Amino acid sequence: MTHILAIDQGTTSSRAIIFDSDIRPMASEQREFTQHFPKSGWVEHEINDLWRTTVETCRDVLSRTKIPASQITAIGITNQRETTLIWDKSTGEPVYNAIVWQDRRTANLCQSLREQGHEAMVTSVTGLLLDPYFSGTKVKWILDNVEGVRARAEAGELLFGTVDSFLIWRLTGGRVHATDATNAARTLLYDIHNGAWSQEICDLLTIPMQMLPDVRDCAANFGNTDADIFGASIPICGVAGDQQAATIGQACFQPGMLKSTYGTGCFALLNTGKAPVVSKNRLLTTIAYQLNGQPTYALEGAIFIAGAVVQWLRDGLGVIDTASETQALAEQADQGHELIMVPAFTGLGAPYWAPETRGAVFGLTRNSGPAEFARAALESVGFQTRDLLEAMQADFGSRGETVLRVDGGMTANDWTMQFLANIIGAPVDRPEVLESTAKGVAWLAGMQAGIYPGLKEFASTWAIEKQFNPERDDVWRDTRYAAWQKAVKATLSMSGLT
């Protein structure tokens, strides 16, 4: 029994990856599921789609590798964070669709709470801002807007959880209602300093605390799966939100180490050590990971649209058939065109936090075509990353040379990674194992189960596949970034925010 099954339940797909005794991925399976957009700014998932695709991919990867479930030492779960689920504690049936982290329906509620002066208290307790991004106001929306749900919640009939919590509950046959500290820290309901749910914030949002899951370390006992799901009962030993799992998988265990994950969105985390750092630049203070009861903190910057801008080129505009086409198109783009795309499809994240903003493209000419749009889309990811890094350096200071460790689907695009290095003026390190998120949670589960090494030895195994070094000078870099900042200012202005 030297294999770990990692479940990576993401925003657009569910994946299952089996890792061997050397923490290397052996095989993976992936299934996309439908995204639902009931109204402008609303994003939902059918909860049973999340469950079905998770189970199917796990069964598929076990079948493909011919590894019986009895030979899986443990399961690790990593998940899209902030996405909000409420279900019946007896039947497991959802009372409403999952409200996805990208959803902006509670923007007016957040604005009202800010106007009432509650944001300072919420930030001091949770490290977060009053924004629709987080789970708390989504929970309140379901309680207030779905008929009969509030009464059932107050009667103790319903449970709330992020995706990890729901999967744990289903996998264990309803025996365990738990989450880990990293997911709890993203709900807007958790006191990251005292390690407990906040009664004050739950009262503010009128959320019954009996709905909330038990909070555990990232490496802990989360129960055993029902034997009939995979053919044998398997312990669940590791859980972390996807961005924290990637931080672990990138071995960013020392203060000052920095990683950025490029999936549907982009999320940069800077390890700040055992003490939380309060941001003066509208970044988030969060928990990077918690082991043996000790949280390690991070500053985080969230970009809502990264890989999703490539999906938009494919599904919205129809100018590409596959994401891989964007690299060749970007290389073909007319260098004389200075298209700038601000992909604020669901608002702007850090450091702007402008949920009402919508996207814009600047610099269009009659000759602007698919190649120019592809290049502008990829460049937008680099520009937004620089926004985050500058805010982080202002909050935490610059401690030696900045090196950015990257992972996620977009990092396979060499053109994008080279532009990223050029625009931030620092090396970008792409690891040998791009599955950093799954690797991080696999290590948590394997370490807890006793088959993987401890933290220091695990960190020593991190290996680089390719380093992208800046090829442009400061004048080019600052000129291009100034044009981006001007475009963002204009976009905010169109929304009446400047």
Residues 402-434: tens digit of each pLDDT: 788 998 888 888 989 999 999 999 899 999 887
Q: What is the mean pLDDT of the chain?
A: 91
**pLDDT tens profile 135-156:** 999 999 999 999 999 999 999 9
Q: Which sign, positive or negative, has the C-alpha torsion 305, 306, 311, 313?
A: positive
pLDDT in the model for residue 287 = 96
148-162 burial: b if 16+ Cβ within 10 Å, else e: ebbebbeeebbbbbb
Question: Which domains are delineated in the chain?
Answer: 3-242 (3.30.420.40), 250-431+463-498 (3.30.420.40)
pTM equals 0.86
Position 285: which residue type? T
What does the pLDDT read at residue 164? Answer: 97
Residue 398: band (very low, low, confident or very high) from pLDDT cuts 50, 70, 90: low
Torsion of CA 354, 356, 360, 362, to 10 degrees: -50
Average pLDDT over every residue of 431-450: 91
Asked whether residue 345 carries a pLDDT value surpassing 80, the answer given is yes
pLDDT at 496 over 70: no
Q: Cβ(273)–Cβ(294) under 8 Å?
A: no
Tens digits of per-residue pLDDT, 474-483?
Answer: 999 999 999 9
CA angle 32, 347, 12 (to 5 degrees): 5
